[in-house]
Amino acid sequence: MPHYLGREIQFAPPTATASGDPFSWQTHFHRSAATFKGFSGPVGSGKSLALCYEALWLAYENPGCTGLIGAPTYPMLHDSTRLAFLEMLGENEVPYSWNKAENILILTERGSRILFRSLDHFERLRGPNLAWFGIDELTYCKQESWLRLEARLRDVRAQRLCGFASWTPKGFDWVYDRFIGPDRKPGYVAFRAKQNLALPADYYARLEASYDERFYRQEALGEYLNVFGGQAYYAFDRKAQMGNFSYTPDHPIWWALDFNINPMCSVVGQTVKGVVRVLDEIVMPNSNTLAACDEFLARTEKWLLPRETPDDYADMSEEAIQYAEEQEQEQKPVPLMVYVYGDATGNNRDSGGSRTDWQHVRDFFSRNTDRFSPHFRIPSSNGPVKDRVNCVNAKLLNYAGTRSLYLSAQCRGLAADLEQLAWKVDPHGTSLSDLDKRDPMRSHLSDALGYYIVREFPMRGVHGERGGPAII
């Protein structure tokens, strides 16, 4: 790296690697003189730091010029990308001034300006000519954002014009086509990172247990593959995961609902030591939430008989033990503990009557306090469908080869969902990240199950990217 003002920049703390030096893939990325270059790799491989360091280097190399650091959304820009850049400046005592109102930083030693911008509204990316720009998590941005910035890369005062980005692979998308594929654009080059073995020993082992096979290969190995191609729930095996499972009195049940009208669908199950068992499915054509509640009561009636608190708590969950002890002290029968999950949009719409779907469900449990002890676990909004499907696949079969999701034999509709649902494709045959719902009977039961799985078993990202020293 060239010297500027004799300043040495520590790329990252030595705790990240044995030597504290940049990884080889980071070094190759920084040394490239390509006008457009990308840094592709798995989680934890040092992408964000590589992006921040490249931005700092180019800001010093182009004194008096303007550059831009972008991210897919403002929360990502504020909470991750900009924070990492400011931390790099602080750790290396690089002097700067900060205009919070305009989201502009000025490196006082070189007079270089750095704009921080979110790219969710690409039409707003019109403005001053740029000497360079860098985009974090490019695969989550629209191609139009990149094209707008590419058109702004034309500052005649720049010593070196450069557009660069970092990303985790997301299939054979526009980023792959532009930077990596057989028809990549002239002047474009990408550098592929490997796993960061300097991370804690159990880092990738935890991901293996949490991610399904395809998602692990994409996120933890950095592979390019069609995660959203063909069968959505590809990890389901009817022979291995369907059987006769009965209600276990010493554990609570959960009820997950999808507020479709035709059919109205929900699933009932229990989870014991992390293993999910779907005990029953409720499918009601041309129905509504009130009728679904009545049917839930009818299906669970056999589990509502008064029972004595067991003497042996060895196999009970902590919640069940505490609740049973309280009820035993009050000498009352133990109502059925129910955790309730489902479609967040049920707070906004109504499938019958003047109240919202979730108001109907809450009213039902309020009328049946002697039978049920409900606990609602409803999110404020539904996350992306692909995240929900990935979480279900991870319970069906994770990368470590463990299955922890099973269906009772009577759950034939849910089994059909898991076997038949596929991803949508566009007119050109490219897979999309939405489910094909042309069959009106399909997806509702698996959606209900997904609301429960994604709430209790989310794929949590693991953070901590670091590298080593370099000179600017």
How many domains does one find in the chain?
A: 2
* Residue 405 φ/ψ region, left for φ over 0, alpha for ψ in the -120 to 50 degree band, beta for the rest: beta
Tell me how far apart the alpha carbons of residues 249 and 348 are, in angstroms, rounded to a whole number.
34
Residue 313 in this model has a pLDDT that exceeds 90: no
Residues 317/321/327/330 CA torsion (nearest 10 deg): -170
pTM of the entire structure? 0.62
Question: Do 151 and 279 fall into the same domain?
Answer: no
Question: Do 295 and 363 fall into the same domain?
Answer: yes
Q: Does residue 219 lie in a domain region? A: no
The average pLDDT across 315-335 equals 68
Q: What is the mean pLDDT of the chain?
A: 84
Q: Does residue 207 lie in a domain region? A: no
Q: Does residue 233 lie in a domain region? A: no
Question: Do 60 and 127 fall into the same domain?
Answer: yes
Question: Do 190 and 244 fall into the same domain?
Answer: no
- CATH number of the domain that 76 lies in? 3.40.50.300
Are residues 405 and 276 in contact, defined by beta-carbon separation less than 8 angstroms? yes
Are residues 338 and 368 in contact, defined by beta-carbon separation less than 8 angstroms? no
CA pseudo-torsion sign 219, 221, 226, 232: negative
Residue 14 in this model has a pLDDT that exceeds 50: no
- Domain that residue 452 falls in: 238-456
Element (H, E) at 341: strand 336-342
DSSP letter string, 227-271: TTSSBTTTT--HHHHEE-----TTS-EEEEEE--STTEEEEEEEE
Q: Residue 363's pLDDT is what?
A: 95
pLDDT above 70 covers a percentage of the chain that reads 84
Highest mean predicted confidence (pLDDT) among 3-7, 324-328, 387-391: 387-391
Q: Does residue 267 lie in a domain region? A: yes
Q: For 408-462, what is each residue's pLDDT tens digit? A: 999 999 998 998 888 887 776 666 778 888 888 889 999 999 999 999 999 765 4
Question: Do 282 and 382 fall into the same domain?
Answer: yes
Q: Residue 301's pLDDT is what?
A: 87
